[in-house]
Amino acid sequence: MCARYTISVSSLNKLLAQFACELVPMSETRVEWKPRYNVKPGEREAQSLVVRLVEGKRQMGLVHWPLVPPWAKSRKVDFSTVNARAETVATKPAFRAAYKKRRCLVVADHYVEWETAGKAKLPWLYSVDEEQPFAIAGLWEVWRDPEQPEAAPYESCTLLVTEGNDLTRRIHDRMPVILDPADYDAWLNCEEIPLVPFPADRMSARRVSTLINNVRNEGPECLADAE
């Protein structure tokens, strides 16, 4: 499960350089960048920063989360498309078309899971390579309103999840499919790659303030260590 993450990097240029991509043309999707400390599904504005392959070139832009299948009658879907399980993503009706043709890198620098302690939900923040930005394997789709054919298309994404590794499974048995940079091209080109747990020795975890539990909270204090 992965239903909350952050992308707290202040420099968009740093991300463009790290992921070797360019911004989508401003006429298509304007990217007004600001660090995000509490990205969650269902936000009104497109807030998931993704990298896609467009005419052979990597482009970075913002899309909605969770994924809305193109055949959905409404873009108001339930939260069953927040994540796609690696084991079934190629066959599930909501994901199989995107898996074949529309893959993306979802840019993050932490993700969150919660430990249950009595009635308390204690958030743990997971990071990669000493809190460097990383890519979660994602899929994207385009939905068009059948009642408003002239309206702009609604672009959305889902995050792939797989079984946990030795570090993460203490809190949750699933984790996002974090991609090694060596696999970015293969994933974006819709090639088959192992959708396996990321190496635990390249990850770290720390417990953070419960401020991040509230979806309305947004700011660097969400990443503060738990007291």
CATH number, domain 5-223, options 3.40.50.970, 1.10.10.10, 3.40.309.10, 3.90.1680.10:
3.90.1680.10
* Angstrom distance (rounded) from CA 218 to CA 120: 21
Per-residue pLDDT of the chain (227 residues; tens, 9 = 90+): 799 999 999 899 999 999 999 988 754 455 678 899 999 999 988 899 999 999 999 999 999 999 999 999 888 877 799 999 999 999 999 999 999 999 999 999 999 999 999 999 999 999 999 999 999 999 999 999 888 888 889 999 999 999 999 999 999 999 999 999 999 999 999 999 999 999 999 999 999 999 999 999 999 999 999 98
pLDDT value of residue 27: 43
Hey, what are 143's tokens? 């939905």
pLDDT at position 167 is 98
d(CA 90, CA 148): 30
Q: Which of 146, 141, 161, 41 is nearest to 96 (CA)?
A: 141
Positions marked catalytic: 2, 113
Query: Residue ranges of the domains in the chain?
Result: 5-223
DSSP string, the chain: ----EEE--S-HHHHHHHTT-EEPPTTT-------EEEE-TT-SS--EEEEEEETTEEEEEEEBSS---TT-SSS---GGGSEEETTTTTT-TTTHHHHHH-EEEEEESEEEEEEEETTEEEEEEEEETTTB-EEEEEEEEEE--TT-TTSPPEEEEEEEEEE--TTGGGT-SEEE-EEPGGGHHHHHTT------PPPGGGEEEEEB-GGGGSTT--SGGGGSBP-
> Contact at 8 Å (CB) between 84 and 2?
no
Please tell me whether the peptide bond between 66 and the residue prior to it is cis, using omega within 30 degrees of 0. Answer: yes
